[in-house]
């Protein structure tokens, strides 16, 4: 079964922000390559998206949240998505593209207890 891919405006904005940061840190060429590979990985979710692990955000939302990791080490980003199963057309909806070090969505911010 082939899934349709939808990217939320939030995820697009997060990808654009990451692209700009990478462009400033390294070079526009490397940022363009990063972005192209990101889009290829997202497109790969049109086949067998359930191969990806459940995201740590899954406990905070009613829909199942999955993730696929893009990059390694300090350059890792989590592509967070949900799968909408429907009779005619099933969809993978990309919800967020977040740096792996960012706080879990839905989790209460850590506060300093002093």
Is pLDDT above 70 for 69? Answer: yes
In this structure, is residue 86 part of a structural domain?
Answer: yes
pTM, rounded to two decimals? 0.89
Question: Looking at the domain assignment, is residue 105 inside a domain?
Answer: no
Beta strand 4-7 with 77-84: parallel, antiparallel or unpaired? Answer: unpaired
Mean pLDDT in residue range 36-57? 96
User: pLDDT band for position 110 (50/70/90)?
Assistant: low
Question: Is the pLDDT score of 72 beyond 80?
Answer: yes
Q: How far is CA 113 from CA 15, 106, 108, 110, in A?
A: 34, 20, 14, 9
At 83, give phi and psi (nearest 5°): -115, 125
Q: Is 81 exposed, middle or buried (0-12, 13-18, 19+ CB in 10 A)?
A: buried
> How many other CB atoms sit within 10 Å of the CB of residue 66?
22
Asked, for residue 107, whether it belongs to a domain, the answer is no
In a domain, 114, yes or no: no
Kindly state the average pLDDT of the residues 66-70.
97
3-39 pLDDT per residue, tens = 999 999 999 999 999 999 999 999 999 999 999 999 9
As a whole number, the mean pLDDT across the chain is 91
Check pLDDT > 50 for residue 114.
Answer: no
- Residue 44 parent element (H or E): helix 28-44
Residue 51: which domain range? Answer: 4-99
Identify the CATH number of the domain in which residue 11 sits.
3.30.2310.20
Residue 106 lies in a domain: no
For position 76, what pLDDT does the model report?
94
Q: How far apart are CA 10 and CA 94, in angstroms?
A: 9
| Residues whose CB is less than 8 angstroms from the CB of residue 80 and which lie 6 or more positions away in sequence, other chains included | 55, 57, 65, 66, 67, 94, 95, 96, 97, 98, 105
């Amino acid at each position: 079964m082939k899934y349709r891919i939808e990217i939320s405006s939030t995820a697009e904005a997060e990808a654009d922000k990451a692209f700009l940061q990478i462009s400033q840190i390294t070079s526009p060429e490397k940022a363009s390559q990063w972005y192209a590979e990101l889009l290829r990985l997202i497109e790969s979710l049109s086949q067998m998206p359930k191969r990806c692990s459940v995201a740590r955000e899954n406990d905070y939302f009613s829909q199942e949240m999955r993730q696929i990791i893009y990059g390694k080490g300090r350059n890792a980003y989590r592509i967070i998505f949900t799968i909408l199963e429907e009779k005619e057309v099933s969809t993978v909806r990309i919800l967020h593209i977040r740096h792996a070090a960012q706080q879990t969505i839905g989790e209460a911010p850590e506060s300093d207890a002093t």
